[in-house]
Structure 1
Amino acid sequence: MRAAFFDVDETLLTGKSMFEFLRFWLARCGDDGTAYEREAAAVRELSARGMPREDVNRAFYSRFAGADAAEVRAAGRDWYARYRARPGAFVTAGVEALAAHRAAGDVVVLVSGSFPPALDPVAGDLGADRVLCTTVDVGADGRFTGTVTEPMIGAAKAEAVAKTAAELGVSIADCWGYGDHASDLGLLRAVGHPVVIGEDPVLTAHAREHGWPVLSQAGGGRGRP
């Protein structure tokens, strides 16, 4: 048995699920787009100030504090149903690679800084077996506290991949990994068969040096649900 680990945003989806879902959620709560632009700008500012990506991830999910978790999960299903019907919603090479791993009987694992309400519908649709992602605490009242248990960013991805391979009883040297961003480098280094999606300069430099495959980030659709 082997496992294939896939980053999600811009590796399988052409969009960024965190922001795509935030826009959808705020609109569902009555936003005309103003609140979304304000919130997205605040997150971008944190990044521009040099805040570590893990802390930016925590700050992003603090915006869901007080939201009913069941309602957010339902919104995630509705968001994805609309998202997947869009032209160019999926990175063709990434989705085709995932389908090939499924056909080969490999365990397919999604690894993402996004959170379950946005990722679970993706995993169900694409046929992933596991999801390793950022988790946000839910209180006894069924509402998100806004506190992140662990952001699945950077080094945490590589650690989660190694732990999951061990749990599955598979050799990590036989596993595959797919990523599009420099923050996925740890994940790609952890596996025996790393594959770069797109043209990130850090990843493509490593690909040239080590002979890693590089796949196109071009998008395509998968049809309506």
Structure 2
Amino acid sequence: MGIDPARIAFFDVDETLITVKGMLSFLEFHLGAPDRYRQIADRLHRLAADGVPRGETNRLYYEVFAGQRETEVAASGRRWFQQEMVGGSLFHGELVRVLRRLQAAGTIIVLVSGSFSACLDPIAEHLGADQVLGTVPEVRAGRYTGRVVRTVIGEGKATAARALLAEFGVDGRLCVAYGDHSSDLPMLAAVGHAGVVGQDPVLLAHAAERGWDLLPGIPTRGNGKA
């Protein structure tokens, strides 16, 4: 049984609300250099395969932007989003329907992601999300330093969600969360009810134990209009 109506709904973004790994998709677009992109992406994939924690690979991702102007990266993020929208398959239709039902019931919609504002702001604006909790890269004199102030991965997602609950004075037991990866588990466990997207075995085991909702994984691109 879910919570009706939920006070706040926390949504993971990449491969939950959208059908791509948005951080990598944006990086490929932003760099405009296939060889360099493949080099960076391959390194991140190798590290992940070797068991390097997601929080660490997340930090390494932001090193790529060192020295770049925050405003220029943000503008690139909007161009990336516009390009993705042309194909009509950026959004996971089933999850967007869940989000819209919650919005109609007056639920506060919060996006929670290891991604950053350049990617997340256009998505949040399109969906009408109320809040965005994302990774915060360090900026000095208008340029990214390559370092990170706050990483929103794993336990970091739960920490960010709990801080927002405290700020709003809302009991987490009256809230819901949605995610697709085992690293989302701390956030899902921080609220009263959750939805598991796809077939992550860790999340499915917890869903069976706790009675969480099961939702389909990301569809083949081509039918995910928001």
Normalising by the smaller structure, the TM-score range is: over 0.9
> Does the 8 A contact of 1:58 with 1:148 survive in 2?
yes
Q: Once structures 1 and 2 are overlaid, which stretch shifts more, 3-12 or 37-46?
A: 37-46
Q: Paired residue for 1:184?
A: 184
- Displacement of 1:154 in angstroms is 0.3
Question: Over the residues paired in the alignment, what is the CA RMSD in angstroms?
Answer: 1.2
Question: What amino acid does structure 1 have at the position aligned with 2:16?
Answer: T
Name structure 1 gaps, 5 residues minimum.
none
> Does the 8 A contact of 2:18 with 2:91 survive in 1?
yes
Question: What amino acid does structure 1 have at the position aligned with 2:76?
Answer: A
TM-score by length of 2: 0.93
Q: Paired residue for 2:168?
A: 168
Name structure 2 gaps, 5 residues minimum.
1-5
Question: Partners in 1 of 2:94 and 2:201 — Cα distance?
Answer: 19
Structure 1: which 4+ aligned runs deviate by more than 4 Å?
A: none
Q: Paired residue for 1:119?
A: 120
Post-superposition Cα deviations, 1:118-147, rounded to whole Å, max 9, x if no partner, equal 00000000110110011111111x111010
- Displacement of 1:168 in angstroms is 1.2
Secondary structure of the residue aligned to 1:194 is strand
Q: Paired residue for 1:221?
A: 224
> Does the 8 A contact of 2:110 with 2:130 survive in 1?
yes
Written as runs of structure 1 = structure 2, the 5 A alignment for 1:2-151 is 2-27=7-32, 31=33, 33-140=34-141, 142-151=142-151
The percent of aligned pairs where both chains have the same amino acid is 47
> Does the 8 A contact of 1:5 with 1:111 survive in 2?
yes
Question: Partners in 2 of 1:53 and 1:122 — Cα distance?
Answer: 22
Question: What amino acid does structure 1 have at the position aligned with 2:11?
Answer: F
Post-superposition Cα deviations, 1:44-94, rounded to whole Å, max 9, x if no partner, equal 122122222111110111010011111100000010011122243211221
Q: Once structures 1 and 2 are overlaid, which stretch shifts more, 48-57 or 60-69?
A: 48-57
Secondary structure of the residue aligned to 2:109 is strand
- Displacement of 1:42 in angstroms is 1.1
> Does the 8 A contact of 2:15 with 2:218 survive in 1?
no
TM-score by length of 1: 0.93
Secondary structure of the residue aligned to 1:136 is strand
Question: Partners in 2 of 1:218 and 1:24 — Cα distance?
Answer: 21
Question: Partners in 2 of 1:62 and 1:16 — Cα distance?
Answer: 18
